[in-house]
Amino acid sequence: MRLDVARELDSEHGLPRSSVFDTLYRSELWHDIERGIGDPDEWRAGAHRALEERAGRALPRLHQQWRAAQHVIEPNLALIRALRPPYKLSVLSNADISLRRRLEQDIGIQHLFDDIVCSAEVGMAKPDPLVFRMAAARLGVLPERCVFVDDWDQNVEAARAIGMKAIQHRVDRKDDLRAQLAELDVTPRA
pLDDT in tens, 40-66: 999 999 999 999 999 999 999 999 999
**d(C-alpha 180, C-alpha 96), whole Å:** 28
The reply to whether 12 falls in a domain is: yes
Number of domains in the chain: 2
Tell me the average pLDDT of the chain: 95
Give the structural domain span for 35.
3-69
| Same structural domain, 85 and 167 | yes
Question: What sign has the CA pseudo-torsion 143, 149, 150, 156?
Answer: positive
Model pLDDT for residues 84-123, shown as the tens digit of each residue = 999 999 999 999 999 999 999 989 999 999 999 999 999 9
Tell me which residue of 22, 96, 95, 100 sits closest to 62, measured CA to CA: 22
CATH code of 132's domain: 3.40.50.1000
Question: Residue 189 falls within a domain, yes or no?
Answer: no
Statement: residue 23 has pLDDT above 80:
yes
Q: 54 and 78: one domain? A: no
What pLDDT, in 10s, does the model give residues 127-179? 999 999 999 999 999 999 999 999 999 999 999 999 999 999 998 889 999 99
Statement to judge: residues 96 and 83 lie in one domain:
yes
Tell me, yes or no, whether 91 and 32 share the same domain. no
Domain endpoint, select from 29, 44, 69: 69
pTM for the whole structure: 0.91
